[in-house]
Amino acid sequence: AERSTTLASGAKLEATIPLLQERVDIQKNLVDKALASKVVYLSEYQELVGLQQDLNLQQSRLREADAAIALLKETREKTAAEYRRATYEALAKAEQRAASTGQEVIKAERRTKLQQLTAPVDGVVQQLAVHTVGGVVTPAQPLAVVVPSESHLEIEAMLSNRDIGFVHPGQKAEIKVDTFNFTRYGLLHGEVLSVSSDAIVRDRQQSASNDRALGAAQSDSEPRDQELQYATRVSLDRTDMQVDDKLVKLC
């Protein structure tokens, strides 16, 4: 606004001074011919000089205003450039921190995964090797046993040599659980899956039940204090047992 006012004042003076200059020249000619008063000439000349000084002053102010505007523009450009530089620098640092943080997150997730044991199937964890936080394990050491929840419970029973001819795969079986008296809690039912073809020699267990066992008499090939037994796998039809008012898991 100030520059516009100065510019308008300068334009007005530039338009007025030539007219006043012409009047001064006319008065001077008349004074030289003694046809006009010298006082009038000097008055108009003084006014002309004043207007010229005012014009010089307005032009000086205009140059100062232009210089101030140029300085403001330069300052603004420098400020904008500095702001852009600072913004880009802050953005670069933020992106660097974000990338670094992302790498740290990836490392943390990888460490977390390495600290987790994931079973290939759903099931129940049994036989934990470590029960304390910070426990030390060795390479290839079994840490736990997972019993699949969808699998059937199998047991391994030892079959006496005298009974081997009466048991075969696919045969139905009844299983007594020593922990729970079968006369009170009942039996478990299952199916014979396999009978080993190789016998295992074990010390003979002396009991009255041996005398009532099914099958042929003791073979003369068996040592007197030992007997031949065969490993038999039996699949149970369920994995739990009703004990009083609660259901007990067998695995």
**Angle separating helix axes 38-114 and 2-32, nearest 10 degrees:** 160
What does the DSSP 8-state code read for residue 44?
H
Considering the domain boundaries, does residue 93 fall inside one? yes
Same domain, 57 and 5: yes
The pLDDT assigned to 52 comes to: 87
The pLDDT assigned to 208 comes to: 38
Considering the domain boundaries, does residue 116 fall inside one? no
Considering the domain boundaries, does residue 52 fall inside one? yes
Considering the domain boundaries, does residue 208 fall inside one? no
Q: Is 128 in a helix, a strand, or coil?
A: coil
Same domain, 187 and 104: no
Same domain, 237 and 171: yes
Cα 147 to Cα 129: distance, rounded to the nearest angstrom: 15
Same domain, 103 and 188: no
From 84, 109, 134, give the residue that closes a domain: 109
Task: Tell me how far the alpha carbon of residue 169 is from its chain's centroid.
Answer: 53
The pLDDT assigned to 242 comes to: 86
Distances (CA, A) of 69 to 62, 64, 72, 119, 125: 10, 9, 5, 76, 81
Same domain, 31 and 105: yes
Q: Is 246 in a helix, a strand, or coil?
A: strand
Same domain, 22 and 86: yes
Considering the domain boundaries, does residue 139 fall inside one? no
Give the CATH number of the domain where residue 188 resides: 2.40.30
The pLDDT assigned to 99 comes to: 92
Judge if pTM exceeds 0.85. no
From 109, 124, 143, give the residue that closes a domain: 109
For the chain, the domain total comes to 2
Same domain, 156 and 235: yes
Considering the domain boundaries, does residue 220 fall inside one? no
The pLDDT assigned to 222 comes to: 59
Considering the domain boundaries, does residue 44 fall inside one? yes
Domain that holds residue 43: 1-109
Considering the domain boundaries, does residue 95 fall inside one? yes
| pLDDT string in tens for the chain (251-residue length) | 677 777 777 788 788 888 888 888 888 888 787 777 888 888 888 888 888 888 888 888 888 888 888 899 999 999 999 999 999 999 999 999 999 999 999 999 998 888 777 888 888 787 888 888 888 888 888 888 887 777 678 889 888 888 888 999 999 999 888 888 888 888 989 999 999 988 888 877 655 344 444 444 445 555 667 888 999 999 988 878 888 888 888 76
Same domain, 1 and 104: yes
